[in-house]
Amino acid sequence: MKTIDKYLFQALDNYPYWLEGTIESLDYASSYNDKNTMVLCLYGRIQAEQLWNYEEAKSYFQEALAINIHALEVYPHYLQTLILNEDYDEAQKLIDFALTIKGINKSEIYVKKAILFEAKQEFRDALAAIKNAKLCTLQFAFDSDIAEVEKRIKGKIDLIEKKKKSKKSKKDLKNKSK
């Protein structure tokens, strides 16, 4: 095993529970190879997930993909960052491209697509993306993630429908009182 792998594994093992240890291990790994896409991806995740510095995170993800467009580990985290940063058009383009990459977890990308539609409050499209995610999934452990996103989207649809019914009921009562 290469030394960089040792430090990368330590960083992955530490994240997100011991951030100081994660950064220390990443810095060592980076000193051995500053072009390692896994290292850059984890730096990006720390910026996005822990520091909420989405622009800095995007630069790490972009650098990783510039080094290796087939760095499959980058796409889900980069997509999540773009969605949180409300870069919806950029996220849609990245999703479209990611779905063409051989070997990528298409189910995970479709879930990100559903989350993108959810963020844009396009819930019917989000459910269609969930359907595609279910059709593409090959990992039993990922089924629960898909189900959670689907449940959240359906809950939002229910909220909107209840709100519409409530408005209609109030309008009907107002019309009857006239």
pLDDT digits (tens, 9 = 90+) for 83-103: 999 999 999 999 999 999 999
CA atoms of 27 and 8, how far apart (whole Å): 9
Are residues 73 and 65 in contact, defined by beta-carbon separation less than 8 angstroms? no
CATH code of 109's domain: 1.25.40.10
Indicate the pTM of the whole model: 0.90
Distance from the Cα of residue 95 to its chain's centroid: 10
Res 166: pLDDT: 77
Is the confidence at residue 58, as pLDDT, over 80?
A: yes
Average pLDDT value for residue range 44-50: 98
pLDDT in the model for residue 80 = 98
Helix, strand, or coil (residue 122) = coil
Condensed to tens digits (0 to 9), the pLDDT of residues 115-139 reads 999 999 999 999 999 999 999 998 8
For the chain, report the end-to-end CA distance as a whole number of angstroms.
81
Amino acid sitting at position 103: G
Q: Among the listed ranges 26-30, 83-87, 163-167, which one has the minimum average pLDDT value?
A: 163-167
What span, in angstroms and rounded, lies between the C-alpha atoms of 172 and 92?
41
- Percent of the chain predicted with pLDDT > 70: 93
The band of 1, judged by pLDDT with boundaries at 50, 70 and 90, is low
Q: Return mean pLDDT, the chain.
A: 93
Confidence at 173, pLDDT banded by 50, 70, 90: low
Number of domains present in the structure of the chain:
1
Segments forming the whole domain that contains residue 161: 3-176
Distance CA 115, CA 150 (A): 9
The one-character DSSP state at 142 is G
The secondary structure of residue 101, as a DSSP letter, is S
**pLDDT at site 25:** 96
What does each C-alpha distance from 78 to 41, 53, 73, 126, 150 come to in angstroms?
8, 13, 9, 19, 21
